[in-house]
Amino acid sequence: MPLAALPAIDTQIVLEKLDPAYPQFIDGGNVLQTSLDNIGAIFHPTISIFNIGRIEGDQGEFQFYLEGVTPTIARMIEVMDRERVTVASSVGVKAITARKWLKLAYNAEGENLYEAIHNQPGYRGINAPSTFSHRYITEDVPMSLVPIASLGRRHGVSVRGIESIIRLACIAHSTDYWRRGRILKNLGIEHLSVSELTRYVTGKPVQQMTNNRPISKLTSAPVIQPERGRKNKGSRIIERTKSSPKIINSPIT
């Protein structure tokens, strides 16, 4: 599983400390790479929203991927996946596509995403959530889709598909996931250029931000307070102290 520290120059230190207990972690590059390669951020909310009737009516008694993904839903997922990859490219990250990830992770292939998902034997028997108030929405939307869309807006990338899913989630839960989520302003990086952002996440020194704003620490949304130190469900985070770096690992399944 890919893991990255913030800054990335500390990733090897983290891997060495975790290796006795978690040898499956590997160097994920940096937090932009691990975050933008989060395939689950695209799969989970989209499949959930387009199966909301079945989830609420049948309490999740159907196979989430194999029954929840129809050819049309798969096409919509592919549109959002292209938006994610394009956003990644806009900040200098070469993100993996969902189809390529299925091939590399599970050797699942197909002429399109629908076939690839249905050729993934590991998805057999995985039922849908029994409720729509589930981390596939409450975490994946504000913590993954919102920052991807926010990055897209900042760098002129069309993210209308992703924005549509965010909007539907807001309506379904009567919640402003934009306000609660990891928009660039809440993260304190809205004024960073691509080169400054890259240096920030990799750990190379940046003396000055745009508009003479010095880089100090990652400022977060009200529901994300890394400077206080905590564990966030769906992510593994270890905050920097004088002797240990901050780790952010974004799951991709």
Catalytic (active-site) positions: 44, 140
- Is residue 117 within 8 A of residue 102, CB to CB? The reply is yes
Amino acid at the residue 124:
R
Q: Which class for 72: exposed (0-12), middle (13-18), buried (19 or more C-beta within 10 A)? A: exposed
Around Cβ 204, how many Cβ atoms within 10 Å?
13
Q: And the tokens for 247?
A: 């780790």
- Is residue 45 within 8 A of residue 142, CB to CB? The reply is no
- Is residue 36 within 8 A of residue 98, CB to CB? The reply is no
The DSSP output letter for 167 is H
Helices 160-173 and 40-49: crossing angle, nearest 10°? 50
